[in-house]
Amino acid sequence: MTENTGVRPDAAPGSRGRTTIADVVVEKIAGMAARDVRGVHALGSGFARSMGSVRERMPGAGSGRSVTRGVSVEVGELQAAVDLELVVEYGVPITDVAAAVRENVISAVERMAGREVVEVNITVSDVKLPDDGEDEGEERQRIQ
């Protein structure tokens, strides 16, 4: 007796089943791709970075900076949209940094997640000045 499972034996293995990619996966890909661009100091607003610094010092909260801070995405079955909040280095052309971030994020998400990126919206919320001290959280981690 043969049971019909709906799978043709000659069907390509890649077409058997469904792949779901969680939003957090695309957030991490986009966050890493944005941070790789020269001129990007950090992602997230000053408040978000401060809260992240506090959260990182809490026991059991995980180690390292949050890759998804300052990143928000909407992921569908075929497409994705990305929103980023950046802090850029003083002296770099912001429009050039934004264009490079957009290009890098689109390339990374489309290559790794297989989703067409329909838009990458960028908000520059701050500029890192040369005479600004290091973030308190980063400074404390070095002193420990």
Q: Is the pLDDT of residue 74 over 90?
A: yes
What pLDDT is stored for residue 19 in this prediction? 84
Taking residues 50-60, what's their average pLDDT?
50
- Contact status, residue 47 vs residue 96, Cβ threshold 8 Å: no
Higher pLDDT, 58 or 104: 104
What pLDDT is stored for residue 106 in this prediction? 98
What pLDDT is stored for residue 134 in this prediction? 57
Share of the chain above pLDDT 70, in %: 72
> How does pLDDT run across 84-143, given as a tens digit for each residue?
999 999 999 999 999 999 999 999 999 999 999 999 999 999 999 998 765 554 544 445
Concatenated DSSP letters of 74-117: EE-SSEEEEEEEEEEETTS-HHHHHHHHHHHHHHHHHHHH--EE
